[in-house]
A and B are shown apart, each in its own frame.
Chain A
């Protein structure tokens, strides 16, 4: 599970701290931490950790539920190239490198030099008995254009904090039901909704 802050008196995840200092503990847990803003999200999925990990670890699968990810090219076992939608019909790209991996439990990554959006993160798979597996994503990133860039991204609903929650939910839908829920009536409507 998430890191616990040294000074804290409760058991809440570090990424939910009301102070920056408290939240820093969550990023300290990331090797080669990159980025200022931190996002922590959890979802419980009714499937075994091994099955979820296996699907996620094949990064080419991620665009099936990560809405803003246009494409991921797997470069080698540790490195991959990401192409992601940004506000204003722009694309941002970066190479990501795995910094830590524990089979069935955890994947941590960081972006390499020259990333359009410097980011690093960790996805953890924790067995939760009859309920399945708790999947927790912690992401640190530097919003392009700082605070204003973040605001713009939020307006376009392309901000990582919003996306992380939605992506985890789509991951759950896909794993539990075999499909990603959509209200679109037909293909044209689906594309308009993006």
Chain B
């Protein structure tokens, strides 16, 4: 089959590789119909995530048609499914508590050592996201092997096109969980750093959860424009001082909850950010956390910080004092996708949530490397690239 493979920093290629097979009784093989490039794939593209190997197949946002099932799979051939990016067994203690991204059994035992050293305990497996998260082949390919197919994938009813449901795989539940972690009360003002897909879905979700005002922060005018369409007020950090603006916009109180959906590659020419960046590029290894520092300083006393943003390692000059003195609460983590799927699919079917506005580009799988470059270089116009393996076949 054809698949998008990683070969090094800013070097991804479409290669011919072996087809996947059923390896375990609960597996299924999915023929991919749509798969998206995620903002977090850019961290791989930029070489920020360790334990990548040349030839690794990327992609953790995907859906398609069931073409093969193991003896213990509950799926049937021909069903259309969206697959969660987290690989969770459904039977361990954490899955029992719906903490799917903390699944004990999703990671192969040999891959658990690194996370054990780095994080204390290993987490669930992830598709196409380095060997620390399992070394599972991703879905930017013609076919993918899906473990635990009896608990992960959600079956999509006929008549709902891919573009409406594809983002159930990651970014929609991630944005939703981010808003849920902000513990929104009616009348609250919520500030969201980063208007990428997760930030935009967090904006949408925050309003659905009863926020009175949402203030969206970014520097790409087009992305701020999209946030405005959902009713958010905006701050462009290239034009305005964020902390001062937030304080004035909230009458000197600060936002009740702050959502950091930026992560370890924060943009912006701030002194702390430049220092972080120098260390990162010289392998002194800290994540760039400017947005996170700003969120902690701006947040109202006793407020909440929700952090869907991906961080991987250590940070410098994290304002622990401000965090403690103001009595803030922080909730974070990889998304417990499986927990949110039924409710969010329902909301899509009922027309309460629309995610199609986000897709700016649709490309055949063969043009995936161009898709990465575009998404990386032109973040203002390119909000989401969806790869369609079927398009290539149609073109031939």
Contact = CB atoms under 8 A, between A and B. Distances in A.
B134 A183 contact: yes
Given A46-B92, A178-B72, A183-B134, A190 B23 contact: yes
Contact of B109 (A173, A187, A188, A193): A173
B134 to A, nearest CB: 5
A170 B109 CA distance: 6
B33 interface: no
A192 B1 CA distance: 20
A184 B91 contact: no
A185 B112 CA distance: 18
Contacts, number: 89
B105 A176 contact: yes
A166 interface: yes
Given A176-B89, A176-B92, A177-B89, A182 B23 contact: yes
Interface string B73-104: 00000000000000001111100100000001
A132 B23 CA distance: 28
A172 B18 CA distance: 30
Nearest to B25: A179
Contacts of B24: 179-182
Given A176-B89, A177-B91, A178-B25, A183 B20 contact: no
Nearest to A190: B23
Contact of A185 (B72, B96, B106, B137): B137
A44 interface: yes
Nearest to A43: B104
B104 A183 contact: no
A188 B19 CA distance: 11
Interface in B114-166: 125, 134-137, 145, 147-148
A177 B19 contact: no
Given A177-B148, A181-B107, A183-B134, A44 B20 contact: no
B110 interface: yes
A7 to B, nearest CB: 29
B104 A172 contact: yes
B89 to A, nearest CB: 4
A169 interface: yes
B137 A169 contact: no
B19 to A, nearest CB: 7
A70 interface: no
A54 interface: no
A129 to B, nearest CB: 12
Given A166-B112, A177-B91, A187-B21, 20 more contacts: A46-B93, A67-B109, A162-B113, A165-B109, A165-B113, A172-B104, A173-B109, A176-B89, A176-B104, A178-B72, A179-B26, A179-B72, A181-B108, A183-B134, A184-B23, A185-B18, A185-B21, A187-B23, A189-B18, A190-B23
20 contacts: A131-B93, A165-B109, A172-B92, A173-B105, A176-B89, A176-B91, A176-B105, A177-B26, A177-B89, A179-B25, A179-B72, A181-B105, A181-B107, A181-B125, A184-B23, A185-B21, A185-B23, A187-B21, A189-B18, A190-B23
The 7 lowest CB-CB distance pairs between A and B, nearest first, are A169-B109, A166-B109, A186-B21, A179-B24, A183-B135, A185-B20, A177-B89
Interface of B: 18-21, 23-26, 72, 89-93, 96, 104-113, 125, 134-137, 145, 147-148
